[in-house]
Amino acid sequence: MPGANSAAKMTATPVTRVLGVSALAATALMAVLGLIVSPPDVIQGEAVRMLYVHVPSIWIAYGSFALTSTSSVLFLRRSRRRADQGRHYDRLAGSAAEVGVVFTAITLITGMLWGKVTWGTYWQWDARLTTTVLLFVTYLGYLALRRLPAEPTVRSRRAAVMALISFVNVPIVHYSVDWWRTLHQKASLSVGRRPEITGEMYWTLLYSTLAVTILATWLIIHRYRVIRLEELRDEEGLEALIASRLNKDVGSH
């Protein structure tokens, strides 16, 4: 069955297998480097290890959301004339947003834990933290919109427009929140001095970013495939439906 063959191809190719194994290995090495090899910070102590997850996560989150927006623009351009064009951009936008949301959540959790250690409180009305929460909720809304039971083309188009607007909004939100915190409350709490990042810490951070990027890429590819497979399942059902409608037709004459 050609359908089954292509479906099998979609879940495993040599390239993605290698990518998957590298993601696993890279993450393991990252744990070793971050937890054992790199030294504790002079001021922040062991808590600094959170940095190796926190910083790459937010970078991946922003990167994923940028990918979502770019794909959405391309999708809107391609599907302008023909509703059935550009579906792959839509799938890419969706899978990137899912991965982005997961990494935003990781950023928030590690950020709050870090806050507990350095500021003594989980939540500080820090501009970056507040912006990130709003970003998180925005893209949760985006995913909610994508999941709705509506006509696929309508849903994709609405989601693409939303992704675009949300991305334009990121600087507005960031700017206004930043301004809100700096304009009125002249730093009541010093917002955690950034640790000096040098030597092993620097290299570990750089390496972690690479490892997490590989992991995220692998995740996005797989989410893309799952979405594609779901569509294939629906399409096969569709072909069966057309066939059964036509057969019924032939049968009645």
Partner 1 sequence: MSAVVEFERAISVVGSFPVLTGLDLRVDQGEILHVRGENGAGKTSLLRACAGLVSVSSGNASVLGFDMRVDRRAPRRYIGLLGHENNLYRDLGVREHIEFRAASVGARASDTAAALEQVGFPQQLWTVPIGSLSAGQRRKVAIASLLVGRPQLWLLDEPHAALDTESRKNLDAILTEASTSGATIIFVSHESPGTKDIASRVVTMDGGRITEDPGAD
Partner 2 sequence: MLTEILLVARKDLRVERRAKIALGQVAPLALLILMVFAFALDANTSLLERGAGGLYWLAVLYGGTLLIQRSFDVETDDGNMDALRMSAIGMPSLFLGKALALFVQITVLQLILGPGILLLYNVGVVDWALLFAAAIAGTLAFSVCGVLWGVMSAGLRVRATLLPLLLVPVLAPVLLAGSRAFETALGVRAGAGWTWAGLMFVIAAVHTALGLGAFGFLLEEG
Q: Which residues bind partner 1 (CB under 8 A)?
A: 81-84, 151-153, 234-235, 237-238, 241-242, 245-246, 248-249, 252-253
The partner residues of 202 in beta bridges, in order of sequence, read: none
The reply on whether position 153 binds partner 2 by CB under 8 A is yes
**What is the residue type of 177?**
V
How long is the chain?
253
The reply on whether position 74 binds partner 2 by CB under 8 A is no
For residue 177, the partner it binds in partner 2, partner 1, none, with Cβ less than 5 to 8 A by kind, is partner 2
Q: By C-beta, is 50 or 127 nearer to partner 2? A: 127
The reply on whether position 150 binds partner 2 by CB under 8 A is yes
Cβ neighbours of residue 228 under 8 Å, at least 6 residues apart?
10, 91
When binding is defined by CB under 8 A, the residue of 151, 186, 198, 253 that contacts partner 2 is 151
The reply on whether position 184 binds partner 2 by CB under 8 A is yes
When binding is defined by CB under 8 A, the residue of 25, 35, 37, 168 that contacts partner 2 is 168
Locus of tokens 């949300």: 166
- Closest listed residue to residue 60, CA positions, set 34, 27, 29, 88: 27
Tokens representing residue 39 in the block:
């030294």
- Closest listed residue to residue 146, CA positions, set 76, 99, 86, 98: 98
Question: Cβ 45 to partner 1, closest distance in Å?
Answer: 56
CA dihedral 74, 76, 88, 169 (to 10 degrees): 70
The reply on whether position 185 binds partner 2 by CB under 8 A is no
The reply on whether position 186 binds partner 2 by CB under 8 A is no
For residue 168, the partner it binds in partner 2, partner 1, none, with Cβ less than 5 to 8 A by kind, is partner 2
When binding is defined by CB under 8 A, the residue of 21, 25, 137, 241 that contacts partner 2 is 137
CA dihedral 99, 85, 7, 149 (to 10 degrees): 60
Could you give the angle at the alpha carbon of 165 between the alpha carbons of 181 and 234, nearest 5°? 130
Instruction: Report in angstroms the alpha-carbon separations of 150 from 111, 157, 158, 214.
Output: 36, 11, 10, 34
Question: Cβ 61 to partner 2, closest distance in Å?
Answer: 15
Tokens representing residue 105 in the block:
């959540």
For residue 140, the partner it binds in partner 1, partner 2, none, with Cβ less than 5 to 8 A by kind, is partner 2
Q: Name the residues that contact partner 2, by CB under 8 A.
A: 76, 83, 134-135, 137-138, 140-141, 144-145, 148-151, 153-154, 157-158, 160-162, 164-166, 168-169, 172-173, 175-177, 180, 183-184
